[in-house]
Amino acid sequence: MEKTQLVFVPSPGIGHLVSTVEFSKRLTERDDRLSIVVLVISSISASKMESYTQGVANSNTGIQFINIPQADPPSAESLKSRENYISLLMESHKSHVKKAIVDLVSEPYTSLAGIVVDLFCSSMIELANELGVPSYVFFTSSAAFLGFMLYLPIHYNQYGREFETSDSDSIIPAYSHPVPTNVVPSFAFNKYGGYASFVKHTTRFKETKGIIVNTFAELEPHAVHQLISDSETPPIYTVGPLLDQEGKRQDSDCERIMKWLDDQPPSSVVFLCFGSMGSFEPDQLAEMAIAIERSGYRFLWAVRSPPFKDDPTKRMGEYSNLSDVLPEGFLERTENRGLLCGWAPQMEVLAHEAVGGFVSHCGWNSTLESLWYGVPVATWPLYAEQQINAFELVRELELALELKLDYRTENAKNLVMAEEIEKAIRCLMDSENPIRGRVKEMKEMSRKAIQNGGSSFISVGRLIEDIHINKANKA
């Protein structure tokens, strides 16, 4: 029997890959006519990615992985903008991706229904046009941030330049409040290709047959409505939340953390975790430690060190001796109510009944995870779109507590002081905080969204129907 095949091209990195796979599972579970091919572009986490893809391939016959040969990296000059560097890196793989797709469609009983690309892979939209197949965007951030992205070409046409720190607040349709310049992502200020690359990406988005967003309508009603109402924007499909609830890591660190949580009372632990790329210098860690100790709350704290300056991979590390970077005696004074680790199994921790609050960098996946488990968040954004995510959570949705909204990487020397952190932790863990009730309501909504008859369930069905219609029209 002929299979209708979708080819996904995610950006390199385990985070992009996991979201792609979770969505692929949802598609194949809903429609057995669909088969998925994921083209894997290598990254610094190649061994982790290979282990992950092997596990998925063994348990999901509808998903196939093809490793794409590495292309020559962009010039060192392009590193002045991380976003531009990744965009150029994806573009350099275009010929390899084309060969892989041409080889696929030459196989018997294969009918290509479309190419699905993520944010940094918009150059592959041109490839889909060359091959005469429909293309779709898989957007792993929020609907509001998609609205910000779609605003960039408008901003460029109006001002002809990047954002500047002196700019007044921006009126962006996807946000119900004016967006302050200090929460705009740093790439929008970048004069070395970062801003220009995003303008190019979102201009290409409008050539596609649809944009698939990892959110649900009940979470972002204003942003979703604005996107759907814009006649110039391709069809919007809200399909979230997409969470990897099966890929649980089992090792001694994980067991130690979960055993410790088992011994804590319900909703008593504040969890501080800032993602795989989130790290702090010793002076900021000291302020955090003072705040944690003064608050009196039980805590689980994932502490990462910045990458070594001469490490080209820029991977976060772990401090070899935490007592060297934390206040003297902190570890001894808090050993009966706290646990420090270099890495934490975030999903499992948030799912544990002992956790009552989450101090987070506000990456979108982390945001969806915290809402899924009904854990309130105090915002501490660090990089990428995290500032504007935090703004949305605090000001637009009233689902998080503001600790910081504009803590930019380039301003890292501006310490967040212990008094401010302590105040946020106390407020976050207050059982009477109204945010706690709103987050619990959103927990129920997030689960209903993906159930039969829910908003995301319906949206996925509409997408599948449109994939088949667009394929037939192409033929």
Res. 412: pLDDT tops 50: no
Other CB atoms closer than 10 Å to residue 324's CB: what's the count?
Answer: 8
Res. 314: pLDDT tops 70: no
The sign one gets for the Cα dihedral 66, 69, 70, 74 is negative
Superfamily of domain 3-242+449-474: Glycogen Phosphorylase B; (3.40.50.2000)
Instruction: Calculate the CA 421 to chain-centre distance.
Output: 24
**Using 50, 70 and 90 to split pLDDT, how confident is the model at 315?**
low
**Using 50, 70 and 90 to split pLDDT, how confident is the model at 313?**
very low
Res. 411: pLDDT tops 50: no
d(CA 315, CA 312): 8
**Using 50, 70 and 90 to split pLDDT, how confident is the model at 44?**
low
Query: Where are the alpha helices (H) located in 160-213, listed in sequence order?
Result: 194-205
Of 41-50, 232-241, 454-463, the poorest mean pLDDT is in: 41-50
Location of each CATH 3.40.50.2000 domain in the chain? 3-242+449-474, 252-430
Instruction: State in Å, rounded, how far the first CA of the chain is from the last one.
Output: 18
Backbone angles phi, psi at 340, to 5 degrees: -110, 145
* Mean per-residue pLDDT of the chain: 92
Look at residue 320 in the predicted model and tell me its pLDDT: 74
Res. 475: pLDDT tops 60: no
Res. 387: pLDDT tops 80: yes
d(CA 382, CA 466): 38
- 162-171 burial by CB neighbour count: b if 16+ within 10 A, else e? bbeeebeebe
**Using 50, 70 and 90 to split pLDDT, how confident is the model at 58?**
confident
Q: What percent of the chain has pLDDT over 70?
A: 93
d(CA 142, CA 139): 8
Q: How big is the chain by its Cα radius of gyration, in Å?
A: 22
Res. 250: pLDDT tops 70: no
CATH architecture of 252-430: 3-Layer(aba) Sandwich (3.40)
Look at residue 55 in the predicted model and tell me its pLDDT: 82
Q: What percent of the chain has pLDDT over 90?
A: 77
d(CA 116, CA 97): 12
Structure tokens at 442: 């959103």
- 402-420 burial by CB neighbour count: b if 16+ within 10 A, else e? ebbbbbbeeeeeebbebee
> Dihedral (C-alpha) 154, 155, 159, 165: value to the nearest 10 degrees?
180
Look at residue 29 in the predicted model and tell me its pLDDT: 94
Look at residue 79 in the predicted model and tell me its pLDDT: 86
Look at residue 43 in the predicted model and tell me its pLDDT: 67
Res. 409: pLDDT tops 60: no
**Using 50, 70 and 90 to split pLDDT, how confident is the model at 406?**
low
Q: Across the beta sheet with 298-302, what order do the strands follow?
A: 338-341, 298-302, 269-273, 355-360, 377-379, 400-402
Look at residue 443 in the predicted model and tell me its pLDDT: 99
Q: Mean pLDDT throughout 345-349?
A: 96
